[in-house]
Structure 1
Amino acid sequence: MKIIDITTHILGNPWKNWLFVQVQTDEGIVGLGEGTLNGFAKTVEAAIHELKHLVIGMDPFDVETIGLKLFRDVYSDGGQIQGSALAAIETACWDIMGKALNKPIYKLIGGRCHEKLRCYANGWYRGARTPENFHELAKLVTAKGYTALKFDPFGSAWRTVDRADFDLSLEIIAAVREAVGPNVDILIEGHNRFTVHTALQFADAMLPYKPTWFEAPVPPHLVSSMVEVARRSPVPVACGEDYYSREQFAELLKHDAVHIIQPEPQFLGISASKQINGMVHAHNGVIAPHSAQGPVCSVVCAHLNMATPNFYMHEIFDEFNEPWEEHVLQPAMKVQNGYLQPPEGPGLGVELNLEELGNHPYHVGNWLPLFKQGWEKRLRTE
């Protein structure tokens, strides 16, 4: 079997343009992948078409060599853009392998490690940044059966905040804890916002509300800063979604300070993600992959998590997107009482609904401006 072509499709999801890839083979099997990257859909699409000549004619089963060709052989560090292009193509190759062998991907990368996957809700807190709004929406989330939910209470904060904004953030955390009760995990999203000192002030102040983790409290580029926060914070720190290479995770893990690791399969591909999960396992840590891109990424994470012994929680946006988005993939992956199963069909177990894609074209304003007031509403930026 050989790869003969790679095509791309962009869907205009209002809060992030989703980029999908189809890898064609000479045996008629078509693999599906995703290359979504906030604010860079057209850029990643261009990268895929610029790099695809490297893998045309290759056997899609040779994913390790395909990964080397798309990253090492280019001899340039394209960061998350290059990683997204690589992951899109590599995911599609895994989909092809599963279809050829009539097995779901999780059976090819380790098999079933869990009865079901516990999910945490994200993207549920659209609307006003008030304790009252967060409180009411959090109650709706737990009514759906979720036992964990994540949220960013910090507005458009960057590095430091004034006292009023500090207090408002804590009031929102308190309101969510009051809404969900003592037995639901609340996960505080930092979105790389703070200095070390501000992050530690927040970590100390949020402790009475018993958060399960404080995610990405400082930017990821200085591993020393993340390590300092992790060692001094009374709340466990989670991070990793920004990294796009094994080496970056090796640098983080060698400090044995962060033990909730969030690899982004969208930047790494399935092969590297599986290897990184093993690295985390060796450091006595757990993984909770980042799954806030598009629906294919969520399916990939489900397969990856099912085949990972040290899996912790699965991130879910899908249930809190626009209603029409459940028709983008067929069949749609459904959360039931806060848990899900990966699709059992061959490969990814889902197919792309091209007709639905045609109804929602690309728009340059479809991105998430995390440092702009009101970003939580997830509306198109005009």
Structure 2
Amino acid sequence: MGGTRLKIVDIETYIVGNPWKNWLFVKVRTDEGIEGIGEGTLNGFAKTVEAAVHELKHLVIGMDPFDVETIGLRLFRDVYSDGGQIQGSTLAAIETACWDIMGKATGKPIYKLLGGRCHDKLRCYANGWYRGARTPENFYEKAKQVVAKGYTALKFDPFGAAWRTVDRSDFTLAIDIIAAVRDAVGPDRDILIEGHNRFTVHTALQFADAMAVYKPAWFEAPVPPQHISSMVEVARRSPVPVACGEDYYCREQFAELLKHDAVHIIQLEPQFLGISASKQICGMVHAHNGVIAPHSAQGPICSVVCAHLNMATPNFYMHEIFDEFNEPWEEHILQPAMRVENGYLQPPDRPGLGVELNLEEVSKHPYQAGNWLPLFKQGWEKRESN
């Protein structure tokens, strides 16, 4: 490069039609030929975020990809309108690609640029493994298979299409599923209960009380995220630790949550925040004596980003793995694929993200309008295209 300043010259987009969620990837090109990749997947909004990338990329064309703080300001503050998760996904996709470029230009993996190695390896928890019938028997059998792979923690949503309240039979079924998973994995592995923002405060607390005997490591997103006071109330009264944060897309929302010192497991979503803000939020959580378990249930680049962030974060707790339970062809989307070994993983050690998009495989899986996860529709856990 001869010490010259890099300049962003173009941004390209690619959509991959995974049956349960269309994935959006970007590629940022520079005048020196160094390219970076990022992801902006948002359930139900792949085409929308893709349009936003192309609508806003003029703000960063000509900029140095090393200037990620200013790039973030241009894509968030300077737009002035609040585009929520759509705007956050756009920012994160572009900014992640810039970090990839920085790593390639310096010859360092991203986690080295974020503070270096804090852990020997990253403990993973499995998600998405329970595809199929919502019965205790199915959850039991699938949980056994996950344990056989070496995972020491499993997350699942036993609540079907529940919203706000449930009838007694559905309540009992959900608790029976939790009991079946605990029975399947034994006493020494963690089970994590996913609430998907489903319940009223009172319903959430009733479930928390009923599941406590099975010793979940956390009850995730038990109530909708918009009323932080509701999340705080559940967290303070629940016998099970509450985890949340994947819905928030700016530092201010985390500051509002953290000031109550009620939730201490924070599941920030790097794909709504970008890597720079994510690292800063990890520090905010650290200052509140909390731990981070970033949301990593989008596409494969998201998982790689979280691996780099987690490795460089002292207060890391657990890494979410959805990739192993997606479509079999997903392992060919990135080269080389990041692999979990006996329930743990390492971020790639190659420069930048350490992976590249396999555009030949990408081209085999076009966008489909029905590819999204309808969490309040009966049978959503089967993860079939709709």
Q: 1:247 aligns with which of 234, 245, 252?
A: 252
Q: Distance between the aligned counterparts of 1:299 and 1:347, measured in 2?
A: 10
Indicate yes or no: 2:223 matched with 1:218. yes
Q: Per-residue deviation at 1:194?
A: 0.1
Amino acid at match of 2:241: P
Indicate yes or no: 2:168 matched with 1:168. no
Residues 345-356 of structure 1: matches in 2 within 5 Å?
345-356=350-361
Indicate yes or no: 2:44 matched with 1:42. no
Q: Per-residue deviation at 1:143?
A: 0.4
Q: Distance between the aligned counterparts of 1:242 and 1:324, measured in 2?
A: 28
Amino acid at match of 1:296: I
Identical-pair percentage? 86
Q: Per-residue deviation at 1:144?
A: 0.3
Aligned to 2:377: 372
Q: Distance between the aligned counterparts of 1:358 and 1:247, measured in 2?
A: 39
Q: Distance between the aligned counterparts of 1:133 and 1:363, measured in 2?
A: 29
Aligned to 2:87: 82
Indicate yes or no: 2:341 matched with 1:336. yes
Indicate yes or no: 2:233 matched with 1:228. yes
Aligned to 2:261: 256
Q: Distance between the aligned counterparts of 2:225 and 2:216, measured in 1?
A: 21
Aligned to 1:327: 332
Amino acid at match of 2:28: V
Indicate yes or no: 2:329 matched with 1:313. no
Q: Per-residue deviation at 1:245?
A: 0.2
Q: Per-residue deviation at 1:174?
A: 0.2
Q: Per-residue deviation at 1:89?
A: 0.2
Aligned to 2:96: 91
Q: Per-residue deviation at 1:268?
A: 0.2
- Structure 1 gaps of 5+ residues are none
Amino acid at match of 1:107: K
Amino acid at match of 1:263: L
Q: Distance between the aligned counterparts of 2:310 and 2:363, measured in 1?
A: 31
Aligned to 2:214: 209
Secondary structure at the counterpart of residue 17 of structure 1? strand
Residues 1-382 of structure 1: matches in 2 within 5 Å?
1-381=6-386
Q: Per-residue deviation at 1:313?
A: 0.0
Amino acid at match of 2:49: V
Secondary structure at the counterpart of residue 356 of structure 1? helix
Q: Per-residue deviation at 1:69?
A: 0.2
- Give CA deviations for 1:141-195 in whole Å, capped at 9, x if unaligned: 0000000000000000000000000000000000000000000000000000000
Tell me the number of residue pairs that the alignment of Structure 1 and Structure 2 aligns.
Answer: 381
Q: Distance between the aligned counterparts of 1:48 and 1:319, measured in 2?
A: 28
Amino acid at match of 1:97: M
Amino acid at match of 1:239: C
TM-score, normalization by structure 2: 0.99
Q: Per-residue deviation at 1:33?
A: 0.3
Superposed structure 1 runs of 4+ greater than 6 Å apart: none
Q: Distance between the aligned counterparts of 2:212 and 2:244, measured in 1?
A: 18
Amino acid at match of 1:318: D
Q: Distance between the aligned counterparts of 2:57 and 2:330, measured in 1?
A: 28
Q: Per-residue deviation at 1:59?
A: 0.2
Q: Distance between the aligned counterparts of 2:174 and 2:36, measured in 1?
A: 44
Amino acid at match of 1:85: T
Q: Per-residue deviation at 1:112?
A: 0.1
Amino acid at match of 1:354: L
Secondary structure at the counterpart of residue 12 of structure 1? strand
Q: Per-residue deviation at 1:10?
A: 0.2
Amino acid at match of 1:357: V
TM-score, normalization by structure 1: 1.00
Secondary structure at the counterpart of residue 380 of structure 1? coil
Amino acid at match of 2:260: H
RMSD: 0.3
Q: Per-residue deviation at 1:76?
A: 0.5
Q: Distance between the aligned counterparts of 1:345 and 1:58, measured in 2?
A: 25
Q: Distance between the aligned counterparts of 2:95 and 2:220, measured in 1?
A: 28
Q: Distance between the aligned counterparts of 2:331 and 2:269, measured in 1?
A: 22
- Give CA deviations for 1:273-319 in whole Å, capped at 9, x if unaligned: 00000000000000000000000000000000000000000000011
- Structure 2 gaps of 5+ residues are 1-5
Q: Per-residue deviation at 1:321?
A: 0.8
Q: Per-residue deviation at 1:346?
A: 0.4
Secondary structure at the counterpart of residue 57 of structure 1? coil
- Give CA deviations for 1:346-368 in whole Å, capped at 9, x if unaligned: 00000000000111100000000
